[in-house]
């Protein structure tokens, strides 16, 4: 009888089940397609962009979209389409890069706090609480003032201020998992700690960490643009959605195309990442049905 | 008695947090390239310094260091700063040496405070009813539309919402001016832009909170007793579902202040956010530290206030 049942049940791995659940969410799939396209475009931006981002055409300033300049030109006659491509590239770089920093710091602090417990846990969580309650954008601005306004320093600054949520998440999971029944069972059977961490704890943490990172990317993107908007982001002439909007807002009554295109691509990118994050959250939660 | 003890303990934590934040800020600035106090910048701002002899320049720099308390070791600078800061004495700023920072802040604080309060009021007054409607009309188009806009509101940053509103309301419809903070007409867009994020979060949270309550046993009991929809929702469900909303307002405050920084710069609103950005771009360190001090203190104190209100509303909460 047991044999009959086990023959009928087809084993589905966690990841293929998750992929199946993800595919059922149409908006998440659309978002993923959009993100894949913009990542590919961003890698090849220097070859795709029709003009360099800083090449002025003084005979063609404030031009409306045309065959020559697809998305028009700005106050210096620079091609808006090319500038937008570079801005998108910078945004993605900071969005993804900052999450690598978040991952490293968050996982280290969270797992030390979770595994050690006691005084170290209390101390680390106090620091995390401060970071969590503090308007971290202030720290971003101060860090950028101190470290300089390059793309790399901006992504490090965003990462340095954004790890509190990740640290809390990892700590909570470690605290639960280290005493979870299946871990106790493995320990009772004589499994080594390193084996338990590799085989049971890490795989179980992966899903929530991926979801948290997916939501962190749009966060990093808007901080990068926000810094540029107030003049603390990448240095001009390097474009960012923030400094393009900041420059365009002064001419918005006469030349709204200088703002419309950056705003639309920016908003679309944020939406796409959020839909993918939503899709991942539903897909990677093992309690939702297959 | 528990409440007072709780407040004292919390105030002590806030005090410690602020001290840590200020120490970190000072250390960061100490490592800044061009140092805490930039001589080249000082020369540029003094203007006529180039005509002075090196000896006179040394005297001038010494006077400058004395004025800003830079002639003592770092730990002593931090100590001196904190000692005065908790009495709201911040000394002069680099960019405006004749006016103490507390005066500059006192002039701008009402603007930011008004913007923040109006935005939060908007968020609460609209967010709660929207969440209730979405919950009661669950899985209808009303719910879907509300939740769709709520999602957009919570992921699109305030400044982007501001720009989109300018495009629609100023450029296209020509209803509202693009910037300023004198007439009520100029305040509409900044307030909405700052408030929309918290509004979206509150609406979403209100919806799930009410749905949660409606699934409770005592609601079923009330129905079994023959209560009407209206009576049950008004008397039992709403009151209890409102309590957790208070907790969401606390974290939204930090978010709200971040929003005002951008919105004040976008709409040229003369508030603290603008002061802060100017301080950062001019490397005005005393002003930058003080902005950090004021903003983090405001956010933490308001968080404390929210927690006290929460404890009053929910008798199950004990002050621990």
Q: What is the ipTM of this complex?
A: 0.82
What whole-number percentage of chain A has pLDDT above 90?
A: 41
- pLDDT over 70 (residue B50): no
Residue-averaged pLDDT of chain B: 82
Mean pLDDT of chain A: 87
Whether B1 shows a pLDDT value over 60: the answer reads no
Residue with tokens 């800020």: B25
* Half-sphere exposure of residue B266: CA atoms within 13 angstroms, side-chain side: 37
| C-alpha–C-alpha distance, residues B245 and A289, integer Å | 30
Task: Determine the average pLDDT of the residues in B112-135.
Answer: 91
More confident residue, B37 or A47: A47
Contact residues of A toward B, CB < 8 A: 127, 130, 133-138, 141-143, 145-146, 148, 218, 222, 225-226, 229-232, 245, 249, 252-253, 256, 259-260, 263, 266-267, 270-271, 274
> Apex CA A217: angle with CA B23 and CA A198, to 5°?
85
Q: Which of A144, A152, A149 is nearest to A236 (CA)?
A: A149
3-state secondary structure of A73: strand
- Alpha-carbon distance of A101 to A158, in angstroms, equals 8
CB contact under 8 A, B29 and A146: yes
- For residue B215, give every residue at least 6 positions away whose Cβ sits within 8 Å of its Cβ, in sequence order, or none: none
**pLDDT recorded at residue B52:** 64
pLDDT bucket at B200, cuts 50 / 70 / 90: very high
What is the number of other CB atoms lying within 10 angstroms of the CB of residue A159? 24
Picking from A133, A216, A241 by the largest number of B CB atoms within 10 A of its own CB, the best residue to mutate is A133
pLDDT tens-place string over residues B56-84: 777 777 777 777 777 777 788 888 888 88
| Predicted pLDDT of residue B181 | 85
| Angle, CA B191 vertex, CA B190 and CA B193 arms, to 5° | 65
Q: What is the DSSP letter of B110?
A: H
Q: Rounded CA gap, A181 and A186, in Å?
A: 9
pLDDT (average), residues A139-158: 87
B178 contacts A252? CB cut-off 8 A: yes
Contact A137 B258 (CB under 8 A): yes
For residues A42 and B280, what is the distance between their CA atoms, to the nearest angstrom? Answer: 31
Degrees (nearest 5) of the Cα angle A206, A212, A213?
85
Rounded-to-integer distance, Cα A90 and Cα A177, Å: 38
Task: Name the token pair of A245.
Answer: 């909007």
Distance CA B228, CA A287 (A): 36
Per-residue confidence (pLDDT) for residue A1, from 0 to 100: 46
At A133 the pLDDT is 67
Query: Which of B148, B157, B177, B261 to probe by mutation at the A interface, max A CB count within 10 Å?
Result: B157
For chain A, percent of residues with pLDDT exceeding 70: 94
- B256: nearest Cα among B166, B309, B311, B190: B190
Check: CB of residue A109 under 8 Å from CB of residue A128: yes
C-alpha distance from B110 to closest chain A C-alpha (Å)? 19
- The two tokens of residue A82 are 């090319």
Inter-residue contact A86 to A108 (CB < 8 Å): no
A138: chain B residues, CB-CB within 8 Å = 276, 291-292, 295-296
Among A178-192, A259-273, B35-49, whose mean pLDDT is lowest? B35-49
């Amino acid at each position: 009888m047991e044999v009959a049942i086990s023959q009928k049940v087809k084993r589905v791995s966690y990841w293929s089940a998750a992929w199946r659940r993800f595919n059922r969410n149409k908006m998440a799939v659309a978002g993923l397609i959009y993100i894949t396209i913009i990542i590919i475009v961003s890698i090849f931006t220097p070859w795709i962009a029709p003009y360099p981002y800083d090449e002025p055409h003084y005979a063609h300033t404030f031009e409306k979209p045309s065959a020559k300049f697809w998305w028009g030109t700005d106050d210096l006659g620079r091609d808006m389409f090319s500038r937008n491509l570079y801005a998108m590239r910078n945004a993605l770089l900071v969005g993804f890069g900052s999450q690598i920093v978040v991952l490293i710091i968050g996982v280290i602090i969270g797992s030390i706090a979770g595994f050690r417990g006691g005084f170290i846990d209390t101390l680390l969580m106090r620091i995390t609480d401060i970071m969590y309650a503090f308007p971290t954008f202030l720290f971003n601005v101060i860090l950028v003032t101190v470290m300089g306004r390059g793309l790399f320093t901006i992504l490090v600054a965003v990462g340095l201020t954004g790890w509190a949520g990740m640290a809390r998440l990892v700590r909570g999971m470690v605290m639960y998992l280290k005493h979870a029944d299946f871990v106790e069972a493995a320990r009772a059977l004589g499994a080594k700690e390193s084996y338990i961490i590799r085989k049971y704890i890490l795989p179980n943490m992966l899903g929530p960490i991926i979801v948290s990172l997916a939501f962190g990317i749009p966060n990093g993107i808007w901080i990068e643009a926000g810094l540029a908007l107030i003049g603390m982001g990448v240095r001009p002439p390097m474009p960012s959605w923030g400094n393009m909007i900041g420059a365009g807002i002064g001419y918005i009554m006469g030349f709204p195309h200088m703002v419309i295109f950056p705003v639309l691509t920016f908003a679309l990118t944020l939406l796409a990442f959020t839909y993918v994050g939503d899709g991942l959250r539903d897909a990677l939660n093992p309690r939702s049905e297959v | 008695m528990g409440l007072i003890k709780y407040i004292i303990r919390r105030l002590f934590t806030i005090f410690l947090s602020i001290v840590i934040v200020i120490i970190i800020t000072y250390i960061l600035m100490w490592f800044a390239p061009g140092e805490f106090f930039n001589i080249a910048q000082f020369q540029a701002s003094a203007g006529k310094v180039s005509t002075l002899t090196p000896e006179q320049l040394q005297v001038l720099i010494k006077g400058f260091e004395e004025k800003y308390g830079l002639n003592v070791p770092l730990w002593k600078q931090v100590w001196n700063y904190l000692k005065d800061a908790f009495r709201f004495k911040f000394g002069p700023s680099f960019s405006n040496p004749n006016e103490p920072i507390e005066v500059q802040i006192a002039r701008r604080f009402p603007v930011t405070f008004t913007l923040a309060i109006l935005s939060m009021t908007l968020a609460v007054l609209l967010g709660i009813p929207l969440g209730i409607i979405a919950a009661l009309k669950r899985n209808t188009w009303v719910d879907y539309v509300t939740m769709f806009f709520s999602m957009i509101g919570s992921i699109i940053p305030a400044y982007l919402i501001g720009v989109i509103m300018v495009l629609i309301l100023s450029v296209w419809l020509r209803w509202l001016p693009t910037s300023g903070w004198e007439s009520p007409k100029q305040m509409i867009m900044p307030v909405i832009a700052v408030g929309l994020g918290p509004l979206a979060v509150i609406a979403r949270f209100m919806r799930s909170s009410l749905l949660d309550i409606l699934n409770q046993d005592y609601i079923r009991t009330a129905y079994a007793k023959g209560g009407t929809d209206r009576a049950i929702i008004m008397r039992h469900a709403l009151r209890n579902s409102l309590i957790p909303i208070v907790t969401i307002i606390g974290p939204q405050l930090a978010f709200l202040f971040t929003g005002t920084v951008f919105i004040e710069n976008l709409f040229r609103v003369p508030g603290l956010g603008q002061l802060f950005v100017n301080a950062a771009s001019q490397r005005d360190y005393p002003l930058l530290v003080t902005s950090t001090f004021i903003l983090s203190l405001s956010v933490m104190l308001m968080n404390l206030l929210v927690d006290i209100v929460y404890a009053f509303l929910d008798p199950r909460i004990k002050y621990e």
